[in-house]
Structure 1
């Protein structure tokens, strides 16, 4: 059904074509309080959004998220207990696979990863809103981050020293 301006429900609202006044502001203010009470903005959303935008602004090539095997959980609720899951990122030059599992303390995440093609000395940075941690790969392309905070994160992969290639970053994922 096509709707034209005469079918618009606001067409018959008295004052709809007038500028906003104090009554309009009061109604919108009350509506905002109701929406905030019923469906509040999730904690940390602003920080996570700013973090994601900062990562997007990096001058690095971005990998493509290939595969996620994860437990089903609520978007707005508490994070479900982390079961092992695997995430693979691909780029024309390399592939990064990470396996996430609960750390021994149950509060944090352990990240076991592999970069292919394998090579010693590839720098892998784990970036989160709280800071950045870095490690290097071994001869098999393996790297580990232990006791990582849950939440938003991405990886930045820098080639081994002496290689002339740009860094590559993964999309932001939830650990």
Structure 2
């Protein structure tokens, strides 16, 4: 008759078997590198009852004459809001973000890769600028009185 060990505490052999299973699954079906960011984004959207803007266009112009700078234009949209961003690299690890919204006077919150949050208010024409943003994964939250907040998916600056 075999002994039922289900109720006994884990021993060294159990730990070894579990470690081997963990290694097997890590190789066969690894966790996506951006899973934590995607879960955090989903929770933010749910908590804010926000609308998610869709990426509609991404354009990287060629370098022109004069000082070589690389700029990139990114557009997002919802049924109520259009967002156009120009990202310009400003040094080794910093970027400048020039933005235009179809909502003049909206509050724009930028969450950077390092977790820092910067906030500004667009002018009456919907224009805003943020300098010295750290490069990496970035997300915008746009709020305007009387409308649901809009959040963009993460994008890299």
| TM-score for the superposition, normalised by structure 1 | 0.62
Tell whether the 8 Å contact from 2:106 to 2:142 is kept in structure 1 after alignment: yes
Aligned counterparts, 1:1-175, within 5 A? 25=18, 27-28=20-21, 31=24, 35=27, 45=34, 47-57=36-46, 58-70=48-60, 83-103=70-90, 105-117=91-103, 119=104, 121-129=105-113, 130-159=115-144, 163-175=145-157
Change (3 A) 1:55 1:135: same
* CA-CA distance at 1:91 after TM superposition: 1.3
Give the total of aligned pairs: 134
For residues 153 and 96 of structure 1, what CA distance do their matches in structure 2 show? 14
* CA-CA distance at 1:167 after TM superposition: 1.4
Tell whether the 8 Å contact from 1:48 to 1:152 is kept in structure 2 after alignment: no
Query: What is the CA RMSD across the aligned residues, in angstroms?
Result: 3.2
* CA-CA distance at 1:32 after TM superposition: 6.6
SS of the aligned residue for 1:140 comes to coil
Aligned to 2:65: none
Aligned to 2:10: none
For residues 18 and 37 of structure 2, what CA distance do their matches in structure 1 show? 30
| TM-score for the superposition, normalised by structure 2 | 0.68
Unmatched 5+ stretches in structure 1: 1-20, 72-81
